[in-house]
Structure 1
Amino acid sequence: MPILEVNNIETYYGGIQALKGISVYVNKGEIVTLIGSNGAGKSTTLKSISGLAKVKTGSILFKGKETMNKPVHETCLLGMAHVPEGRKIFSTLTVKENLLMGAFSVNNKQLIEERMEIVFGHFPILKKRLEQKGGTMSGGEQQMLAIGRALMMEPELLMLDEPSMGLAPIIVEQIFDIIKKLNQNGITILLVEQNAYQALNIAHRGYVIRNGEIVLSGKGSELIENIEIRDAYLA
């Protein structure tokens, strides 16, 4: 049963239509990826789902409940976490303070500490950097912090927008290994990626977006062998 159902949504930026009837679904326990060129509508799709972009028409159901155009803090409280493109950490705050921002709705100190230890289990470097300002960390460490902050919400659905952007190849491998591990630990993941090969390689299913529309979908293993996809995104 889908944990997320996006039905025929249309999103505009001013008078420009960014999404033209996008429909996708994500089953509980899956990794689903959205691939496409720059400006295709991938990030806008995630923003529309989380509430960062206002949807004009359509429907978005999360765990069977209509969430279209709900405020971001409300979608977070329902169990949806969005790690935006460019990481968007609080650069002047410490690693610890950034992580605590992810637990904004939790009043139980012991629970916060337990969640923080889970984050450190995935990202041991963050424990070593606990009092370091986020903005002084490397790009890879900042990406780990952004994901860790989202994990402090204990999300059922984790949406990741370009987690490998600007990172060295060895760090990219680490990030994708962590994404697979998070999924194996029960977190459903909706992944937007320019690195189509890496994304399709770990995804159960994928969608191809072009000019604000879904033009192709299928199993990750099928899409990675598709000649059109290989020529357009994997060459």
Structure 2
Amino acid sequence: MALLELQNVHTYYGGIHALKGLSIKVEPGEIVTLIGSNGAGKSTTLKTICGQARAREGKVLFNGKEITQLKTHEIAASGIAHVPEGRRIFPKLTVKENLEMGAFGVKDKKVIDEGFELAFHYFPRLKERINQKGGTMSGGEQQMLAIARGLMMRPKILMLDEPSMGLAPILVEQIFHIITEMNQEGMTILLVEQNANQALSVANRGYVIQTGEIILQEEAKALLSNPQVREAYLA
């Protein structure tokens, strides 16, 4: 059984038909990437999964249970973490306070402590800056903080939206190394990434989305060598 599955999902923004019968699966332990041009529907897919946008038709299933109409906080509590595009940390809050916001609503101190332990395991630099305000950190550090905040509820799946955006190449390599490490240690990841070459190099499988529809799905290695994909997204 897939950990996460979208079945024939249609999502609208007003009269704009953003997702047109989209179906994808993410199996436990995979990195699955969604690639496509700007406006193709990548971010809308993640927003639909986490309830920020609502599917008008179709189903979103998580662990075999339908979550299509659950509230966003209920979806997060079920084990889905969404790290949105653009980091969206709280610039006036410290690293510690930003991380605590990632566990908002969690009453079990053990879960929160385990969240901090996990965050600092992957991002030890954040521990060194625990009392520093988020807005004074570098872009790379802010991206680390955004991902670490997503780990605070000990999710079953981590959805990352454009984690390399605006980062220097050396920091992109570092972020993707950490993504790979998280996956090797058991985290299932759904990755939206403009840098298709980088995304496909770490993913197990990939979907190509165009104007709200999946036009191609393959093992990541096959997509990397596909002439159509190379010309459109890897040039």
TM-score, normalised to structure 2, is: 0.98
Q: Is the 8 A contact 2:36 2:209 kept in 1?
A: yes
Change (3 A) 1:110 1:60: closer
Q: How far apart are 1:69 and its partner, in Å?
A: 2.9
* Residue 109 of structure 1, CA deviation: 3.0
Residues 104-138 of structure 1, C-alpha deviation per residue, up to 9 Å, x if partnerless?
A: 23323344233212211110110111111111111
In structure 2, give the amino acid aligned to 1:153.
M
Structure 2: any 5+ residue segments left out of the alignment? none
Which letter does structure 2 place at the counterpart of 1:151?
L
Q: Deviations over 1:1-48 (max 9, x none)?
A: 200110010111111111111000000000000000000000000000
User: Which amino acid in the other structure matches residue 114 of structure 2?
Assistant: E
| 1:230 counterpart residue number | 230
Deviations 1:181-205 (A, max 9, x none): 1111111100000000000011000
Gaps of 5+ in 1: none
Deviations 1:65-121 (A, max 9, x none): 100132110011100000000011111111000111112233233442332122111
Q: Show the counterpart of 1:156.
A: 156
Secondary structure, in 3 states, of the residue corresponding to 2:52?
coil
- Cα shift readout 1:196-215 (whole Å, capped 9, x = no counterpart): 00000110000000011000
Residue 211 of structure 1 is matched in structure 2 by: 211
Asked if the contact 2:7/2:23 (under 8 Å) is kept, the reply is yes
Given the superposition, is the C-alpha separation of residues 111 and 41 from structure 1 closer, same or farther in structure 2, using an over 3 Å criterion? closer
Separation in 1 of the partners of 2:111 and 2:207?
Answer: 36
Please list, as runs of the form range in 1=range in 2, the aligned pairs for 1:101-120 lying within 5 A after superposition: 101-120=101-120
Is contact 1:48–1:69 with CA below 8 Å preserved after alignment? no
- Count of aligned residue pairs for this structure pair: 235
SS in 1 for 2:3: strand
Contact 2:11 2:20 in 1 (8 A): yes
TM-score (norm 1): 0.98
Stretches of 4+ moved more than 6 A in 1? none
Q: Distance in 2 between matches of 1:162 and 1:139?
A: 13
Aligned letter for 1:112? I
Q: Which amino acid aligns with 1:115?
A: G
1:64 equivalent in structure 2: 64
Distance 1:117 1:68 in 2: 31
Residue identity in the other structure for 1:91: P
CA RMSD after TM alignment: 0.9
CA distance in 2, matches of 1:119, 1:104: 15
